[in-house]
Structure 1
Amino acid sequence: MKHSDTQQSPLSQLSPDAHQQPLSTSLQNTLDTIKRTTGFSDDMIVRQLFIGEAAKQSVAIVYIEGLVNKADITNTLLEPIMGLLTDQVEENIEKTTDYLKQYCLTIGNVEEIKKFATLYSALFNGSAIILVDGLAIALATNIKDAKDRPVMEPATESVIRGPRESFTETLRTNTALLRRKIKNPNLWIQTKIIGSVTQTDVAVIHINGIANEKIVQEVLDRLNQIDIDGILEGGYIESLIQDTQFSLFPTMYTSERPDVIAGELLEGKVAIMVDGTPFVLIVPSLITSFLQSSEDYYSNAIVTSLIRLLRIAAILISLVAPAFYVAVTTFHQEMLPTPLLISIASQREGIPFPAVIEALLMELAFEVLREAGLRMPRTIGPAVSIVGTLVIGEAAVTAGIVSAVTVIIVALTAICSFIFPSYGLSNSVRVLRFPFILLAGGFGLYGVMIGILALVLHLCSLRSFGIPYMSPFAPLILEDQKDAVLLFPRKFLTKRPRLVNQTNTTRASQYKKTYKR
């Protein structure tokens, strides 16, 4: 069903092209246009009053209830304007807005508006609009009501050592948290509005002189090409501007911790903040970004290096342990010691399914229980997932559906999957585990090796804003190996990643003094 010309849909009314006309000099015409465009919404408040000794100058204050601070409306707008009894506003109407800004309004941020598009943007961002009859200029006063979630400890990134604060859903609160970390005028923040309906603020942040200007410009160009009606979370931006749409591996790193984002900015990367979400995007992102934790840099370098090796080993176990078990028990029994082989064979006696089906069933059951634990209320979610796993595993072994060794392999895989610093990479490994099991069930260890080779080739083919995803391993950069798998002490980390930063690669001068006792 098509809309007539006199009855447009709200989506068409909110399109940017429909409101590029200037404001009317008639106050009533301007108010009528605003009311029609907003569908005569009940939360839009219009307060009309008169100023001047003769009380002939008509003024209107327009705001959205719930987005502005009512106390500020009364104290900084209504009382000063209603107390304005000078004839100056009647003798020279063209200077009324200047007089209001200079002698009446006590609020700091006041902007002049001449078009409806700018008026709607300010109105729905928490500004009160002052309209004067006879003038085609409005004043926008930013008196947004600060209903913001307080800065709390990160919910998805546990903190053992480091700042216990996380971003919120408010853009300006998040930029302020970054300003507290990087007190430098070279921290540049460029805000864009994306989404023809939602009009979402998106900030592009980088450190001038450190970030690669080509990457910054590439980010801005990709954001400018986005044509969408709404942006509700950073995942929208990630999906629209990433290099490839057909890869399980994330090419943009996300974090809700200000210290993590500040550290990435100091490496020469670019941050993308989206209003309404506490998760900030970082580009370009390399494979090492998903294998490292910010707490690695707060601890002893030797301990951190050992933990990183343990982390990589756990990731490999999580990826190929079920597939290796299926391959060995199905095709390569000679690889197992005789006592272990006899023990596994005795446990599998009477099991109706082959090892590949057995592993797939248990992995699928575990994934279902994990998702159920995540989606259920927090008070009962962990209990359901833990109890469900124990009950189902014990019942399956007792009923002879699966063997005990399969339960052990799946449990080990599950434990190793929780060691991932990045949730995005964890999801990729969770999905890849199933094709590896199928390859092992069909071709044994040869299938596992084929899968690993295909995975490595795919990773080497990925790019994140033009930077090789496997850097600094492929291509091999010896200087960057100081902070790849192993972590060298801070005094040796004098250079930033070479492929990320091409203008300022020096992090610090070489330490010359050695302290001895």
Structure 2
Amino acid sequence: MTDLENQNTSQPNSKNAPLCASLSENIKTLKNTLGNSNDIILRELLIGKLRKQRIAIIHIDGLANETILNDSILESLTLHLTENPKIMSNEMNQYLKDYCLTVSDVKDIVDFTALYNALLNGDTIILFDGLTKGIAASTKSAKDRAISEPTTESVIRGPQEAFTETLRTNTALIRRKIKSPNLWIKSRVIGQETQTDIAIMYINGIANDKIVQEVLDRLDRIEIDGILESNYIEEMIRDSKFSIFPTVYNSERPDVIAGELLEGRIAILVDGTPFVLIVPALFISFLQTAEDYYHNAIISSFIRLIRFFGISLSLVAPSLYVAITTFHQEMLPTPLLISIYSQREGVPFPAFVEALIMEIAFEILREAGIRMPRMIGPAVSIVGTLIVGQAAVEAGIVSAVMVIIVALTAICSFLFPAYGLSNAVRVLRFPLMILSGMFGLVGLMVGIMLIILHLCSLRSFGVPYMSPFAPLIVKDQKDTLILLPRNLLLTRPRLISQKNNVRGKKHLGNTKRNVH
């Protein structure tokens, strides 16, 4: 067996081994496991007057707060142990926790697994010579991005704050919205190498206990080396893994997450990303915005209807143009038909190829605008839409009507409140154009029916994806295509929260539930 194989086989044992009584051996094991990394700060001290006790204080530069370390650990150790020189070595651990350390969270560590987890999370480790037990003192650094305005879900009226990449900052933002003792948090650590902290938040007594347990079970079954963004979790817990429609909702707005929690849903927060996941997710949730609830119900309902119409148009507009101009010219008024065909007189491509070229060109320009630096992105979009489009029309490659159709489709595609659903529609636009180019309106209707059937077959954590439309729940139609006034939104969605369905009704946790 080679030296490399010996190292690989012994490495896991060193990670799971208990601490030994020799401080030198513990330090040696720690350095070998962490590869003598230069950001590991280790200081050995002799403390006490009569009985000199050798200890080691270990932290990671950049993860631990130097101010807390110096004021609450180093200064306290030297001060208290100088004034109390008769402390026995075997009592040193407990004495430090009871009298010396002034940090908020102190816990014992007895093995290297706990030591590495605490050290890599920003805690300071204190090891003693002659003891098989150490101390992990909370000294996590508070450096994080300041709370700023949402970038993907901006509103005119409403809270102007968004989540950050720090887990505890995000949980605090939600607790500021929901000041209830029933807002519970369950913690998980996922990722063999990244050891990413995950928080599951729900309101006890409102959320369905079976769905909460299902979320925890799916998270516990995840086996992966690292979690870098919440989409890692989303891909592994979603129901239909091969569907292009998102079945897990995400948002960067604390008010949106708080509203979903009040309806009985479960939030999944991932350390390192500002996007919080919500389950179960319904199709209608991806078409609603936070601002719908901050305006008059009549105005919000009108805006919703306009949004739904525009979103539908973004899916079928190119296909409808291809089907009508290719197979169903009789549907158009004669003056309009003459105008369209006079513009297409010099175009060498059929309507389907023309639409396909323009849609692909638009998708390329859209991706280029997103990936380019912010100062250049808008310029790329303007150049692409104005100059390239106008030049294509003048060159006779595409017709002016086709440019109008693609421009209308592009504008309507920006009405999507959720980017995940927008991506699904972008993909489906091309199969619908193919069906329309081959079979006309019949192909278009077949394609739409297949999409609807697929949507009706989806579930999100056991809840039908298309509810309350399929199955039809009349009582839940108050917040779908239209929005009723606030005083009429008296009940929560029936299939989401199956207990304490009445808003404002006091609940007693698990001791009382509604039966349906």
TM-score (norm 2): 0.95
**1:88-237 correspondence runs (5 A):** 91-237=87-233
Identity among equivalent pairs (%): 63
Q: How does 1:337-486 map to 2 (within 5 A)?
A: 337-486=333-482
| Amino acid across the alignment from 2:8 | Q
Amino acid at match of 2:235: S
Q: Which residue of structure 2 aligns with residue 7 of structure 1?
A: 7
Matches of 1:154 and 1:418, distance apart in 2: 17
Partner residue, 2:278: 282
Shift of residue 87, structure 1, vs aligned partner: 8.4
Number of the residue aligned with 1:66: 62
Q: Deviations over 1:400-437 (max 9, x none)?
A: 00000000000000000001111111111111111111
Q: CA deviation at 1:384?
A: 1.0
Query: What's the CA shift string for 1:192-244, capped at 9, x where partnerless?
Result: 00001000001111000000000000000000000111000000000001001
* SS of residue matched to 2:7: coil
User: Does the 8 A contact of 2:205 with 2:499 survive in 1?
Assistant: yes
1:41 aligns with 2:37: yes
Q: Distance in 2 between matches of 1:106 and 1:214?
A: 41
Deviation at 1:7, TM superposition (A): 2.4
C-alpha distance in 2, partners of 1:85/1:218?
50
In the alignment, the residues of structure 2 paired with residue 54 and residue 90 of structure 1 have an alpha-carbon distance, to the nearest angstrom, of: 7
SS state of the match for residue 303, structure 2?
helix
CA distance in 2, matches of 1:3, 1:322: 64
Q: Which runs of 4+ in 1 moved over 6 A?
A: none
Judge conservation of contact 2:44–2:56 (CA < 8 Å) in 1.
Answer: yes
Whether the aligned pair in 2 keeps the contact of 1:440 and 1:446 (CA below 8 Å) is yes
Q: Which stretch shows the higher mean deviation, 429-438 or 67-76?
A: 67-76
CA distance in structure 2 between the partners assigned to 1:46 and 1:472 by the alignment? 60
- Tell me if the contact between 2:148 and 2:162 (Cα under 8 Å) persists in the aligned partners: yes
In structure 2, the gaps of 5 or more residues are 506-516
Helix, strand or coil at the partner of 1:7? helix
Show CA shifts across 1:232-276 (max 9, x none): 000000000100111110000000000000000000000000000
Q: Give TM-score scaled by structure 1 length.
A: 0.95
Report if the CA contact (8 A) 1:89-1:99 is conserved: no
Identify the match of residue 332 of structure 1 among 307, 328, 335: 328
Displacement of 1:40 in angstroms is 0.6
The residue type equivalent to 1:4 in the other structure is L
Amino acid at match of 2:167: L
CA contact (8 A) 1:51 1:84 kept: no
Question: What is the CA distance between 1:84 and its match in structure 2?
Answer: 3.7
Aligned residue-pair number: 505
Check whether the contact 2:15–2:33 (CA below 8 A) recurs between aligned residues. no
Write the letter of the residue equivalent to 2:138. N
Q: Which letter does structure 1 place at the counterpart of 2:481?
A: V
CA distance in 2, matches of 1:317, 1:505: 35
